Amino acid sequence: MSTLQQFGEELVDTLGERCATTGVDFEELLLRHVFGLLEDESLYEDLTPCFLKREDFYADPPELELKVNGYDLRDDGATLDIFVVLGYPGQAYFRVPAAEVYMTLRAAQVFLERSRTGLAADLDGDDAQQLAQQIESLQGLREVNLTLVTNGEVVNFDRNPTVIDGISVKRKVLDLRGIQRLTEPDEIIVEFTMKDQIGLPCVRLPQDNSVYRSYLAIVPGSVLCDLYAKHGQRMLEANVRSFLRAGGKVNRGIIQTVGEDPHMFFAYNNGITATADTIEVRNETDGARLVRCKNLQIVNGGQTTASLHHARRTGKKLDDVFVAMKISEVLDETKAEQIVQAISRYANSQNKVNFSDLGSNRSFHVELHRISQTQVPQGPFAVGQKPSPWFYERMRGQYDNELGRQKTAAQKKQFREKFPPSQCITKTDVGRYVMIWEQEPFTVSLGAEKNYLAFQRRFIEEQKLVPGDEWYQELIGKAIIVDACDRFVRQSGIPGYKANIVAYAVALLSKRQGDAISLRRVWNEQRVTKKVEDWLRAAIPLIRDHLIHPETDGVNVTEWAKKPRCWGKLLESNVVVPW
């Protein structure tokens, strides 16, 4: 693991490069970077950027009055997370003054307070207004977390919770050290010794072999819940990352059993299957005890684990809940990945886990990454532009890991020049670019995770897509067009709904002019043509006008954008954009 200063330097350099090439504000890039890391933890449901900053220039000196940069609403509207960013683009490692921490968190709290009492009426049709309206209308809101995100180090701040309008409000900080922990996580060491009890009673598989060693144990529901609360999605097998929501039929049944018949949980539930790098078992007078293990991975039972966590968050007791656990230690390191993938595939029977979620179908992502390392655009390029390949991350953080392997500053600079940070794309990016061009902006508007699952289901599972050079080049052509539209929306100064406007504008471009656009030419030249630029710039205000006038008055704009009818009505409107 790199030192905190080294990590801070690399983070600032990477985000700074993206600022220079995209024109996006440093704080927005920092937030989106952190949201990507938090999405991997899957303890949040729909992380949404939302930017509002208002200063009181009449104060002496001027003071920050209101600020919000993102939010997440979960637990069926009971928990709201509000994120506010304090970014320092020119500083790689420093301590944030306590006064700035207080002022920024205070500005987020004021936004919350005023939203409960009608702030939305004073805002002008943007994402912040939508958030303020939601906060004002929520009846079951019980908990709000105000989280400061910063690339500085925060040593001390006021963590004391407060109560606003009967709602518990907590203050949190995700600083440089926290971002490093998300990016470069430590090994998961699980201790099963609790209070005066040594480990968990277990039974060893009465069969010796050189490949694996297995045990059966009974885990208290509270212990499993604590592990998930501490380690999150890192505890779920690396190839089964999709968080199975509490709304599914199986998960609702799990939560219902916890609430109504907790003593029957063990009988009703199939338990969990797990693997670990090493397992420590101690022989006591009353039998074998599972004491600890390293890098515990739940390969089946993610829905059980996450649902227990959700049940406890909503006030249900886990005292009488117990879960059966089969845990295996792979002894042959050369076969470890193959065996874990096979266990993942064959063990998943409680909730349907898609074939592509398992390691067996990683060939799509492995091949896409391989192609991304070999394909270089041919031009002709704009003046001053150099040919550079794009970098496909088949696993979150792969780009940063590759960058971290470069030993010297010169090597790191050379790596960034070869693979510019602004040309690094993830699985969810691929899903977004493709589904927009497939003319499903309503699916894209559901959010990165749900959209990716839709992409995965259609192209990886059903169509068994095998990416080739031509498919990849057209993919990057789509990416360049979407990113260009994003830039045009930002330059237009239109407040709010940027992601929805981009999705609908490019989808309409694909519908109306897709056959006239050479995506491979866009790839080779690494820019959109003047004709495409003019079309998108003309379409953007028309798309926004369509989105802010839902079919039914009073409907939330972002919710309207998620409906297929929103797309259908746009096509029916015969919006005319000259080509």
Do 206 and 148 reside in the same domain of the chain? no
Cα 52 to the center of its chain, rounded Å = 21
3-state secondary structure of 552: coil
pLDDT digits over 160-212, tens only?
889 998 899 999 999 999 999 888 777 788 888 776 788 899 999 888 777 88
452 and 431 Cβ atoms separated by less than 8 Å: yes
Domain boundary, last residue among 322, 354, 386: 354
| Whole-number Å distance between alpha carbons of 444 and 426 | 15
DSSP string, 393-456: -SSTTHHHHHHHH--SHHHHHHHHHHS-GGGEE-HHHHHHHHHHHTT-HHHHTT-HHHHHHHHI
Domain boundary, last residue among 130, 151, 183: 183
Angle formed at CA 489 by CA 484 and CA 494, multiple of 5 degrees: 175
3-state secondary structure of 263: helix
Q: Is the pLDDT of residue 337 over 80?
A: no
Instruction: Select from 188, 270, 268, 193 the least CA-distant residue to 236.
Output: 188
Q: For position 251, what pLDDT does the model report?
A: 62
Do 106 and 245 reside in the same domain of the chain? no
Instruction: Select from 258, 228, 235, 245 the least CA-distant residue to 322.
Output: 258
Domain boundary, last residue among 354, 376, 391: 354
Do 142 and 21 reside in the same domain of the chain? yes
Q: Is the pLDDT of residue 249 over 60?
A: no
Query: Which range among 130-134, 394-398, 487-491 shows the weakest confidence by mean pLDDT?
Result: 394-398
Domain of residue 265 covers 189-354
Do 333 and 373 reside in the same domain of the chain? no
| Whole-number Å distance between alpha carbons of 572 and 397 | 42
Q: Order the strands of the 79-86 sheet from edge to edge.
A: 48-56, 63-74, 79-86, 143-150, 167-174, 162-164
Question: How many domains are there within the chain?
Answer: 3
> Is there a domain that residue 578 lies in?
no
Query: Which range among 207-216, 229-238, 423-432 shows the weakest confidence by mean pLDDT?
Result: 229-238
Do 24 and 123 reside in the same domain of the chain? yes
3-state secondary structure of 479: helix
Distances (CA, A) of 365 to 1, 357, 495: 26, 11, 36
Radius of gyration of the chain (CA): 25
Angle formed at CA 462 by CA 456 and CA 468, multiple of 5 degrees: 70
323 and 265 Cβ atoms separated by less than 8 Å: yes
Q: For position 230, what pLDDT does the model report?
A: 80
pLDDT digits over 505-524, tens only?
999 999 999 999 999 999 99
| Whole-number Å distance between alpha carbons of 376 and 383 | 18
Do 531 and 420 reside in the same domain of the chain? yes
Instruction: Select from 147, 157, 61 the least CA-distant residue to 112.
Output: 147
